[in-house]
Amino acid sequence: MSEKKSYHMSPEEFRRHGREVIDWIADYHENVERYPVLSPVRPGEIGDSLGTQVPDRGEPFSEILQDATERILPGITHWQSPGFHAYFPSNASGPAILGELLSAGLGVQGMLWSTSPACTEVETRVLDMLADLLGLPEAYRSTESGGGVIQDTASSGVLCALVAARERDSRLRTNRQGCDGSQVAYCSTQAHSSLEKAMGIAGLGRANLRQIPVDEHFALDAARLAAQIKADRADGLRPIFACATLGTTSSTAVDPIAAMGRICQEEGLWFHVDAAMSGTAAICPEYRHLHDGVEYADSYCFNPHKWMFTNFDCSCLWVADRTALIGALSILPEYLVNDATRSGAVFDYRDWQLPLGRRFRALKLWFVLRYYGVEGFQYHIRRHIELARRLVGWIEADRHFEMVAPTPFNLVCFRHRGSDELNERIMKELNGSGEIFLTHTKLNGRFALRLCVGQSRTEAEHVEKAWSLVVATAKRLRRRAT
Ligand code: PLP
């Protein structure tokens, strides 16, 4: 017989190890700059260092924690490092991590209002508050015709919006019988791939997504959108959905939201706005104009898990008319029937998302909103944008480099003059150095370096360091080539 009385961790042990884990996380964040930003491990290296079998006997927690930190850390890419400039950030903060911990501690599953009323009601209130903070239209409030819901990601958000649009168009027929291939949707050539993926998943067909050309600033050409909708209608198709992006992934371009919104209203299309990262900027009054035209939108999505200090995952989706979303996604088997649902007086968020079960994500978001306050968010957003602008100034002053897209927010797209290969080599050397991590895209068919300033701890010194590394690396490679 094992000497253990119980296989569970006692509250005393939990208290002790919990402190160790919090200490570990605090040390990690304090020292995160010591690690190579991009993990240098080879494929399989981390997996091979782990055991292959579940132990017969449970192991002491301290050993597990030690293993987790020693064996796993080399395979971590440090998204929380101030030298992380790749993709879009997935930043975090103390209050968010502690809110997440509290949510795990409560361990509730909030599929229905009745399975934890607070899980639903905190979420509803937090999303109403956030709609105010971003200056979103009144209709998005839970007290009006709409409301907000937290999804895992913007990909799920756009899929939910697309399914709602599909059902609004077919009056719920496609939910029962499937699609007939006649429904088409629109976005720009720069829209995120999640919409194309959603078209396939929703049964609408990826080929039924029209990718409208963009102007010289990589923003959708509204006249071409209007023309394409008319051409599709003339071909007997049913235009049902259009997506505007506020801050595209490649270059943070902003589509003409008001012009697209008017077209969608005239043509009866569901209008979705994807503001995944850049929507956060609207917290600052000087960026609020970005939301001009959002009053035409049927749905709007942005990710606090990108640029709003709320650790992954946390994506907010608002709809102007919740009945369209709920009508498309609701299904009520007998085992979920309860008095609160029957009364119609509550939201059951299972009807607003793809899965049934759901985490108490609103808790971390509530913590973050209260901890930073409007002032805190504005301070950091302005700081990041200002640092990105400084970088633009240095790039423009260096004859070896050129800007390749406007910088409306905190993403800088640039390249070394010359070949794509040279730019790719610069990027690989920089990432291999472990000092910074940045990624690329293609703009107008040419390789472009993307450097995003959005990490919670990124300060002026880090952006200065990143730029001197870029310059030094380029110089070295130029010398090597001659
Ligand atoms: N939309 C845009 C504009 C994005 O940049 C991204 C990701 O970077 C997404 C959607 C997808 O985000 P998620 O990972 O939340 O699905």
154 lines ligand 1 (CB under 6 A): yes
| Dist CA 355 CA 217 (whole Å) | 38
Burial class (CB in 10 A: 0-12, 13-18, 19+), 176: exposed
Query: Can the peptide bond before residue 420 be classed as cis, meaning omega within 30 degrees of 0?
Result: no
Q: How far apart are CA 433 and CA 414, in angstroms?
A: 20
Q: Which domains does the chain have, with CATH numbers?
A: 11-37+77-91+380-482 (3.90.1150.10), 39-76 (no CATH), 108-359 (3.40.640.10)
CA of 155 to the centre of ligand 1 (A): 6
Q: Across the strands, what pairs with 187?
A: 211
Distance 361 CA to ligand 1 centre (A): 18
- 3-class secondary structure, 450: strand
Q: Which atom of ligand 1 is nearest to the CA of 157?
A: 16
For ligand 1, is residue 291 a contact (CB within 6 Å)?
no
The pLDDT, as a whole number, for residue 285 is 97
CA of 96 to the centre of ligand 1 (A): 20
CB distance 195 to 185 below 8 Å: yes
DSSP 73-141: GGG---TTSTTB-SSS-----HHHHHHHHHHHHHT---SSGGG-HHHHHHHHHHHHHHHHHHT--GGGS
| Ligand 1 touching residue 245 (CB < 6 A) | yes
Pocket lining: 194 vs ligand 1, CB cutoff 6 Å: yes
C-alpha to C-alpha distance for 186 and 387, rounded to whole angstroms: 34
- Answer whether 255 contacts ligand 1 (Cβ < 6 A): no
Q: Do β-strands 411-416 and 401-403 pair in parallel, antiparallel, or remain unpaired? A: antiparallel
- Count Cα neighbours of 113 within 13 Å in the Cβ-side half-sphere: 14
Rounded CA gap, 232 and 236, in Å?
7
For the stretch 212-215, contacts whose Cβ atoms lie closer than 8 Å and that sit 24 or more positions apart, written own/partner, are 212/186, 212/187, 212/188, 213/188, 213/189, 214/188, 214/189, 214/190, 214/253
Ligand 1 centre from 52 Cα, in Å?
Answer: 35
155 ligand 1 Cβ < 6 A:
yes
Q: Whole-model pTM?
A: 0.96
DSSP annotation string for 289-348: GGGTTGGG-SEEEE-HHHHSS--SS-EEEEES-HHHHHHHH----GGG--HHHHHT-S--
Closest CA to 474 of 409, 428, 434, 435: 428
What DSSP designation does 44 have?
Answer: T
CA 36 to chain centre: 24
Does the beta carbon of 90 sit less than 6 angstroms from any atom of ligand 1?
no
From first to last of its 482 residues, what are the pLDDT tens digits of the chain? Answer: 445 568 999 999 999 999 999 999 999 999 999 999 999 999 999 999 998 999 999 999 999 999 888 899 999 999 999 999 999 999 999 999 999 999 999 999 999 999 999 999 999 999 999 999 999 999 999 999 999 999 999 999 999 999 999 999 999 999 999 999 999 999 999 999 999 999 999 999 999 999 999 999 999 999 999 999 999 999 999 999 999 999 999 999 999 999 999 999 999 999 999 999 999 999 999 999 999 999 999 999 999 999 999 999 999 999 999 999 999 999 999 999 999 999 999 999 999 999 999 999 999 999 999 999 999 999 999 999 999 999 999 999 999 999 999 999 999 999 999 999 999 999 999 999 999 999 999 999 999 999 999 999 999 999 999 999 999 999 999 888 77
Cα angle, residue 288 at apex, residues 284 and 290 outer, rounded to 5°? 130
Please work out whether the CB of residue 303 comes within 6 Å of at least one atom of ligand 1.
Answer: yes
pLDDT of residue 1: 45
Q: Which residue of 150, 188, 192 sits with most ligand 1 atoms within 8 Å of its CB, as the best mutation to test the pocket?
A: 192
CB 329 within 8 A of CB 94: no
Contact of 137 with 273, CB cutoff 8 Å: no
Residue 240, SS3 per DSSP: strand
Q: Is the CB of 91 under 6 A from ligand 1?
A: no
